[in-house]
A = this chain, B = another copy of it.
Amino acid sequence: MAERGRGWARAVRGLLLDVSGVLYDSGAGGGVPIAGSAEAVRRIKASGLKLQLCTNETQATRENFVRKLRAMGFDVSVAEVTAPAPAACRLLRERGLRPHLLVHDDLVPEFADIDKTNPNCVVLGDAAENFTYANLNEAFRLLIGMEKPVLISLGKGRYYKETDGLKLDVGAYMKALEYACDVQAEVVGKPAKKFFESALAELGVPAEQAIMIGDDIVSDVGGAQQCGMRALQVRTGKYRPSDENHPEVKPDAYVNNLAEAVDIILQQL
């Protein structure tokens, strides 16, 4: 707890921030900022601490995502966003993979420079309305027809909330294809260790001097801790009181929101 000592806030040089549920709540018209979060981002920057957003967002390019955040009052740039699609592009290039994309229309431009002819892997994102019966069968047929099927999943979330209700997230469709093809997907995004490592590299701070702040006990907190970072859970976004009894993951501290976390961290500088 924030109240039980603030040793966790010492010797910090950089912060990784989850976005949805920490900076803003998604909803009608793109979402609303969480009270105090825009000011908190400004204070982090003014303090000289480094900052990087570490998100599993795959329904928009980073450019459009940043445009939305800036419209909500957040002083952030594209270079400050670590997201699954660019990480997947690096992986595709490294391994000479040519993807068939089953992703949201608005994410496609992230893959503009990637060779997509004669696909030898499938990249799955939160395709939303593109998760049609025909598109799922097409992705499945491509995979099952490969000598060694390669399925790359941008995150593995179970579901998320939008204003018109809960929606199945990419992880559910990943499981469907995994089962049908008898393969294990490679997950690019939180909580994959490689993804946190690339976020740290972009932050420019070693794990032991960085703190991850997120609302997802497993994906944000658990994932970051497994990379040697400290991690806080905010009591905003998808946080639920039952998270505080999670059988496997225990955050270094709970904070009511990002603003409180920044208060404490800046006091310890």
- 0/1 per residue, A169-185, Cβ < 8 Å to B? 10111011111101000
Tell me the residues in window 132-159 of chain A with beta carbons closer than 8 Å to chain B beta carbons.
132-133, 136-137, 140-141, 144, 158-159
Task: State whether A141 and B158 are in contact (beta carbons under 8 Å apart), knowing that A128-B133, A132-B132, A176-B176 are contacts in the complex.
Answer: no
Q: Determine if A112 is an interface residue (Cβ-Cβ < 8 Å).
A: no
Q: Which of B128, B166, B179 contacts A175 (CB 8 A)?
A: B179
Q: Which of B144, B167, B169, B175 contacts A159 (CB 8 A)?
A: B144
A141 touches B165 (CB 8 A): yes
> Within the oligomer, what is the number of copies of this chain?
2
A180 touches B176 (CB 8 A): no
Q: Which of B141, B158, B168, B180 contacts A136 (CB 8 A)?
A: B168
Per the CB 8 Å criterion, the residue count for chain A at the interface is 27
Question: Chain B: which residue is nearest A171 at the CB level?
Answer: B179
Q: Which of B169, B171, B177 contacts A172 (CB 8 A)?
A: B177
B128 touches A167 (CB 8 A): no
B166 touches A176 (CB 8 A): no
Q: Determine if A129 is an interface residue (Cβ-Cβ < 8 Å).
A: yes
CB distance from A183 to the nearest CB of B (A): 11
* Residues of chain B within 8 A of A239, CB atoms compared: none
- 0/1 per residue, A113-140, Cβ < 8 Å to B? 0000000000000001101110011001
**CA A178 – CA B172 in complex, angstroms?**
8
* Residues of chain B within 8 A of A132, CB atoms compared: 132-133
Question: Chain B: which residue is nearest A128 at the CB level?
Answer: B133
* Residues of chain B within 8 A of A178, CB atoms compared: 175
CB distance from A62 to the nearest CB of B (A): 25
* Residues of chain B within 8 A of A177, CB atoms compared: 172
Interface contacts beyond A144-B166, A168-B176: sample of 13 additional A-B pairs, CB < 8 Å, sorted by A: A128-B133, A129-B133, A132-B133, A137-B166, A137-B168, A140-B159, A141-B166, A159-B180, A171-B180, A172-B179, A173-B176, A175-B176, A175-B178
Ordered by A's residue number, 25 sampled pairs between the chains whose C-beta atoms are within 8 Å are A131-B133, A131-B136, A132-B132, A132-B133, A136-B168, A137-B166, A137-B167, A140-B159, A140-B172, A141-B165, A141-B166, A158-B179, A158-B180, A158-B182, A159-B180, A168-B176, A169-B180, A171-B179, A172-B179, A172-B180, A173-B176, A175-B175, A175-B178, A175-B179, A176-B176
